Amino acid sequence: MFVYLASQSPRRRELLEQIGVSYETLLVDVEEKKQCDESPADYVRRLSQEKATAGAKIKNDQPVLGADTVVVLNEQVLEKPTSEQDAINMLLSLSGNTHQVMTAVTIMLGQRSETQVNVTSVRFRAISEKEARDYWQTGEPKDKAGAYGIQGKAAVFVEEIQGSYSSVVGLPLFETAELLTIFDLEP
């Protein structure tokens, strides 16, 4: 089984490998900007679809997988941090709170596309500003929604998770496998 992955994320590549999916990555350019009237779920769904569509324009009539992940706290989307202070502010806002991680995955083949969205709740323990600063210094949060990676050092901040661990990492494997089955691309 083979798909084109419209993402450069090493985490998504690792997750596809975990379930035995062969892939080739595509470099796609999609602006990640939430529209003012867009819900977080609609936003992540749209980005996933736009990435798959951009990939399909490169690889006509080939299966393309697009995905996007956002962190949501009180209906506010926390994107990738733009600076150290931005990351620290995000981490401190997550401290002692439960937030949602939404990951959408889309497969497009020809004119047909299917999308699924996974929503997982994650609760952080209380973290100090020093812990947030120290975590920034590891380099991990720089390219991650919500300024953390659950698969890395931030795992010690996670008190509880309800839902899909792989979705929080960046690709919900259950939903991905379902979509692969729908397109007869079973893992």
Residues in the chain: 187
3-state secondary structure of 116: strand
Rounded distance, CA 179 to CA 171, Å?
12
Rounded distance, CA 172 to CA 67, Å?
9
Give the sign of the dihedral formed by CA 31, CA 37, CA 43, CA 46: negative
DSSP secondary structure code for residue 157 in this structure? G
Given the residues 29, 37, 42, 68, the one annotated as active site = 68
Catalytic residue status for 68: yes
| Packing angle, helices 10-18 and 173-182, rounded to 10 | 70
Active site residues per annotation:
68
